Amino acid sequence: MLIRGLWEEKGSSDTRLLEEPLLSDAFTVVGRSEAFTGRGRREHVVPRLVVIQHCHALLEGEKRAGRSPAETDKLMAEFIQQTVKIVLISPEEARRLDSAAGHGWRQQMPPGWAIGDDVFHRLHAAGIAWTPDPVVD
């Protein structure tokens, strides 16, 4: 797993590992907001930084938890599969999520959210209504 390799080599890895071409939009784009009109942004429902930080925590706790590298890699893969989902949102919705005047949640989840909670909580909490769309352009 690339995340493990970079973490072992550098003590960190890169959130871009959770983007194309390594993770295809065909597997990660799950819907679009009701306000999305073709212009906007691909929004990770759980910010990539949150996902990578959790993967690093799994790696750091591997020995303490008595896990093998293969077990940790499996946990990371399952976590990535559960959390790396993209919803297409409008520019206004992106500003609302990102800006300090809005929610300021560009790289974080809302207060009170924990690993294992609803991955779409950030969108719901920001008032972004969306619909699943298995065939997204």
- The predicted-structure confidence for 16-32, as pLDDT tens digits, reads as follows 999 888 889 999 999 99
pLDDT of 111 above 70: yes
Residue 17 lies in a domain: no
In which domain, by residue range, is 60 found? Answer: 2-10+28-132
- The tally of domains found in the chain comes to 1
Residue 16 lies in a domain: no
pLDDT of 136 above 60: no
- Separation between Cα atoms, residue 19 and residue 33, nearest integer Å: 20
Tell me which residue has tokens 């959790």: 54
pLDDT of residue 135: 57
Contact indicator for 59, 7 with CB cutoff of 8 Å: yes
Residue 102 lies in a domain: yes
Residue 51 lies in a domain: yes
Residue 19 lies in a domain: no
Residue 107 lies in a domain: yes
The whole-model pTM stands at 0.91
Residue 114 lies in a domain: yes
